[in-house]
Structure 1
Amino acid sequence: MTNVNICIIGGGGRAWAITFMRDLAGADDVQGKICLYDIDHEAASNNVEVGNRIFRLNGKEGRFHITSCPSLAQALEGSDLVVISIEPGKTSYRYNDLIVPEQYGVLQTVGDTTGPGGIFRARRALPMFFDIGKSIERHCPEAWVINYTNPMTLCTAALYQAFPAIKAMGCCHEVFHIQTFLAKKVSTWFGVETPNRREIAVDISGVNHFTFATKASWKGKDLMGYVAALCEDSETFGDTTDTANKRLKAEKWFEGDHTIALDFYRNFGALGAAGDRHLAEFVPWYLADEKELHSFGIVRTPYAWREREAVRKREKLFTDDELISKETNEEGVDILRSLMGARTIYTNINVPNQGQVPYLPLGHIVESNGFISHNSIKPSLATLPPLAIQTLERHVAEVQELTLKAALQQDDKLLLQAFLNDPLMRLPLSKAKALFREMLENANKQN
């Protein structure tokens, strides 16, 4: 049995913090302490009770001693693992990220990674991550750090900027969705039961939420030929506006059919390895207007729903059944167990580029596959995607570098340059600057 001290930053959250503890209750080889830290200390204290229920309901009572800590320093002291999952600012701040750009004609499906919303979310999130990185250096410099917060590339980069020797990675489940999609196709293509998505091997590279697969296989059988045939089928790209309208009515904001992922393969020769809602935001054409987006079956997540959902989560009371550990698609606990020496896993990771993604700058936070084992995260060399994909990726990475530098130097003129270079910024220059000024004024009022 391995003893581990875990700090969860964002420990008052009603999603990731609960999911992580529930998954942890399903592990039989770890025990120790969990400290929940949140700027809303009451929320973290409430989650202590939920956490204790989780371990009791799963027959693991006493396996972990759970507390809430009033200060970040206290929470981090002596930690072996730090999990970061925070909402950088109030949900109401998302009005500036989403609605204000929409008023200027700039549409966003998610607005947390790229586009005007992603850039201004980064502006308020990165100073928090600079502080977290410095605090980790002071209080637990040997701890492993898993970041779930978006914009993942930039938040993880900020940790390394603050503490270059930090042992941090970004963890994202978007690649899992394309594995699940391919697993379902394997059932059709080979006449077998749908395999576990972990049986689908994909060779991926890029930056988080804009990642591409150049190879895919199942039990040694190449799947990319089947993907190519799928992209040649006219039915694959039929107008799915009716599907989008049904999703709007049913508030199924997160559903998609990977049609945009396949469209990238059709046009550029690499399969999108993130959800369509994210992929659409890194290029200018899918979000040209609502009609175009809906033709791919994708809908935008409304700001009003986000506000309602935030309230629902804060007020949520968990049933016993919701706290029973079940197999999930999340890998946070698998990563923890691997780092503690229980196993080795091969999965997608977001870490500084050491050459594993040759077409992107060294040091930039990139997404590729890698091995996670005892006290070790080692990225593996990715296959080069077609040149057109490399070109798209390089532009996105350069905008991210500008954004990181602007946040580090607190230079809003530099941030404007990143803003104007963003792929979604198709407005006339005067209008784009007016949008930036309005968003900046609103953001300064948030501080």
Structure 2
Amino acid sequence: MRPVKIVIIGACSASFGLGALQDAVQTTDLQGSTLVLVDTDEPRLQVMLKLAHRMNEEAGTGLIIQSTTNRREALPEADFVITSVAVRRDELWRKDWEIPKANGLRQVLGENGGPGGLSHALRNIPIILDICRDMEELCPDAYLINFTNPESRIIMAVHRYTNIKAVGLCHGVFMGRERVANILGRHPTEIDVKAAGVNHLLWLMDIRDAKSGEDLYPELRRRERELPENDVGPWGVDLLSRKLFRHFGYWPSPTDDHVGEYLPYAWELVGMEGYNFDQAEAYRKQRQLEIEAWADGRKPLGELLTKPSGEIAFDIIRAIAGNRNEYVLAVNIANNGCITNLPADAIVEVPALVSGFGIQGLTMGALPDGIAALCNTQVNVQRLVVKAAVEGDRRAALQALLVDPVVDSLRAAEVTLDQLLAVHREYLPQFQQSMAP
């Protein structure tokens, strides 16, 4: 495989950044390749750079590792650009959660769907498009591999407004497979799944024994019926997923809280507790202490050198750069016929073949009518959100709320949008003219 240049933007993320380093140093085919870590937090970036050098040396991968706070310095001649970025993520997300709730709107998470998902997209889409414009100038042939949420809306914006080759990645399919394996009493690697839908509203359309090819759906249906109502799976109690499974006939993925972001009745089963911001903050602080200990050599690297992160960005890089014809379980790409009863411009999540020819989504045929109806609704919301985020179009933003199934009050939609645009004003320059008195 030829050496490549990989730019990681958002490298100081306690989970994403560390996971990317794990996968990079475990990908031995990358010998001689350049890895550039980019983040605006200079002190933490230096810690991450120090850790990256230690991991590279102990693993013997042979990477050339650099860092910068200026992405334009990193992008020239890049082959792959990986993004996981956000501004004050949990602090602003908390407002995306609290404001709609105070106005009586019942969203269960507020990250990717509902009013919170709209607000999140309005902030993040311009950030990613700015990166893409730099890529068009400095590395126009590079692939964008995006982890930033809301995934489907961001990839639609990139597809519509830039010439950059882009793919969105999410580990939701693996979470769905793990829960199904848990019910079947098997290890996840023992089952093969074929999934299709839109991000965080993904459906396991086929489940088989990985060796024999036996259809495991009949057994899954039988075993699920035998579970107690309060059964705790790998991701907690999942009453919503189990109800959807019974009513639509296929297992949804990834988890109740994410799937429930798109459904007006999800709160009945998922509850209204929302994301545990305090727990997440405590985890990040603890993880940062570990990163510093690893970087300083006070803690052995252990599984950082042997255990993959669970993401597939570096599988895709290796497959493209080495023309490996590798099958991957799920990517977020423009539909173009992969799911025949969703629009061509929809951003769908489907399996793909990855090679030097690029990322080719597999044709999954038509989704069952009920599932297609759920997904089509989200495609229509995607379009309105993207228009609003790119053009600063307040009318499109309000229409996105009024089309969203989670929103059940015109007055609450109007008030919520006004308040979200006001509280996030400094992060929404595209709306300044429309919000002027």
TM-score (norm 1): 0.87
Is 1:216 the counterpart of 2:207? The answer is yes
Q: 1:286 aligns with which of 266, 286, 290?
A: 266
The Cα offsets for residues 125-180 of structure 1, whole Å up to 9 and x where unpaired, read as: 0111111111111111111221111101111222223323x221111100011222
1:414 positional shift: 1.3
Q: 1:40 to 1:328 in 2, by over 3 A?
A: closer
Displacement of 1:90 in angstroms is: 4.4
Q: 1:53 aligned to 2:54?
A: yes
Say which of 348, 357, 360 aligns to 2:339: 357
8 A contact 1:169–1:350 mirrored in 2 = yes
* Cα deviation, residue 66, structure 1: 1.2
| Residue in structure 2 matching 1:332, options 303, 310, 313 | 313
Contact conserved, 1:12 with 1:45, CA < 8 A, in 2? no
- Write the distance in 1 (CA, Å) between the matches of 2:370 and 2:107: 23
Cα deviation 1:58-98 (Å, max 9, x = unaligned): 233xx112111232211111111111111244432122111
Q: How many positions carry a matched residue from both structures?
A: 417
- 1:276 is displaced (CA, Å) by 1.9
Alignment partners' CA distance in 2, 1:102 and 1:270: 31
* Offset at residue 398 of structure 1 (A): 0.3
One-letter code of the match for 1:420? L
Greater shift, 329-338 or 395-404, is seen at: 329-338
SS of corresponding position for 1:2: coil
Q: Who is 1:247 aligned against?
A: none
Structure 1 regions of 5+ residues with no counterpart? 189-193, 245-253
Q: Deviation of residue 407 (structure 1)?
A: 1.1
Aligned partners of 1:281 and 1:287 also within 8 Å? no
Structure 2 CA distance for aligned equivalents of residues 15 and 92 of structure 1: 17
Which of 218, 228, 232 is the aligned partner of 2:221?
Answer: 228
What does residue range 75-94 of structure 1 map to in structure 2 within 5 Å?
75-94=74-93
After the TM superposition, which residues 310-389 of structure 1 pair with which residues of structure 2 at under 5 Å, given as runs? 310-316=284-290, 317=292, 318=294, 319-320=299-300, 321=302, 323-341=304-322, 343-347=324-328, 348-389=330-371
CA distance in structure 1 between the partners assigned to 2:289 and 2:243 by the alignment = 40
8 Å CA contact retained: 1:23, 1:325? no
Amino acid in the other structure paired with 2:325: T
Q: Residue 177 of structure 1 aligns to which amino acid in structure 2?
A: M
Distance in 2, Cα, partners of 1:270 & 1:327: 29
What SS class does the counterpart of residue 346 from structure 1 fall into?
strand
Supply the distance in 2 between the matched residues of 1:98 and 1:209 (Cα, whole angstroms). Answer: 18
Counterparts in 2 of 1:157 and 1:384: CA distance versus 1, 3 Å: same
CA distance in 1, matches of 2:251, 2:79: 37
Amino acid at match of 1:214: M
Say if 1:120 and 1:424 are closer, same or farther in 2 by CA, change over 3 A.
Answer: same
Letter in 1 for 2:113: T
Please name the residue that 2:433 is paired with. none
2:110 touches 2:116 (CA, 8 Å); kept in 1?
A: yes
Structure 2 residue identity aligned to 1:431? A
Identity of aligned residues (%): 27
Deviates more, 1:147-156 or 1:67-76: 67-76
CA distance in 1, matches of 2:282, 2:354: 38
> The residue matched to 1:149 in structure 2 has which SS?
coil
SS at match of 1:213: strand
Partner of residue 165, structure 2? 167
What TM-score, normalized to structure 2? 0.88
The structure 2 residue matched to 1:415, chosen from 374, 397, 402, is 397
Is the contact made by 1:203 and 1:383 (CA closer than 8 Å) also made in structure 2? Answer: no
CA distance in 1, matches of 2:216, 2:365: 16
Give the letter aligned to residue 56 of structure 2: F
Q: Report the aligned-residue RMSD.
A: 2.3
CA contact 2:200–2:259 (8 Å) conserved in 1: yes
Distance 1:51 1:10, change over 3 A: same
Distance 1:411 1:19 in 2: 37
How many angstroms does 1:7 deviate by?
A: 0.3
Number of the residue aligned with 1:191: none
- Read off the aligned partner of 2:130 and give its amino acid letter: D
